[in-house]
Every structure is written in C-alpha cells, then in structure tokens.
C-alpha cells in the first residue's frame, strides 16, 4: 500500500530524484540519481517518515522531501524540493 492517499501535484519540469525502498515509515536510498518526468505526481513526505542512506544514516532535506504518489510499494521516487521551485 502506498504511504499517501493524496495524488499530489505534478512537476512543471524534469527534476532530479532518487529511488527509495519503503519499510514502514522508513525510506532507504537505493540505486542511482535519476530524472523524474514533468508529469510525475509528488506529495509532501509525512513528518513521521525518516529517509536513510544505504548505510543507515538519517538524511535531512535541504528544502523538503516529496515522494512520488503513482509508484508501487515498496519502491518510490524521492525529491528534495527547494524554496523557489514550483509549489
């Protein structure tokens, strides 16, 4: 089951993303950096979620984390949304 019920909003341009694997309220980075297509839906990551490196270290966003909403558990795309980017 996807961690979010809302559909979110699409991007207005390609955006750098990473693939993460969800386990409960933890997202662990897997794979390489990619580019999310502009029509991909993203929503704010709930505050009770943690993002971890492959080594298990907690990662904090520079802006705010947003997670893809049309992907299938346990794999999702994650972006670090910055002020000045689309809202």
Listed by start position, the domains of the chain span: 9-81
Beta pairing, strands 75-81 & 15-23? antiparallel
Cα gap 19→2, rounded to integer Å: 15
Above 80 in pLDDT, residue 40?
Answer: yes
pLDDT digits (tens, 9 = 90+) for 55-71: 999 999 999 999 998 88
- Beta-carbon neighbour count of residue 74 at 10 Å? 14
In the block, residue with structure tokens 């907690």: 58
Banded pLDDT at 3 (limits 50, 70, 90): low
Cα gap 23→73, rounded to integer Å: 9
β partners of residue 52: 28, 58
- Cα-to-chain-centroid distance, residue 32: 14
């Amino acid at each position: 089951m996807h961690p979010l019920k809302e559909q979110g909003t699409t991007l207005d341009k390609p955006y750098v993303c990473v693939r993460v694997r969800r386990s409960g309220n933890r997202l662990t980075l897997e794979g390489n950096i990619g580019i999310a297509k502009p029509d991909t839906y993203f929503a704010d990551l709930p505050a009770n979620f943690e993002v971890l490196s492959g080594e298990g270290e907690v990662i904090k966003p520079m802006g705010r984390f947003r997670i893809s909403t049309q992907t299938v558990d346990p794999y999702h795309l994650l972006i670090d949304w910055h002020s000045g980017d689309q809202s």
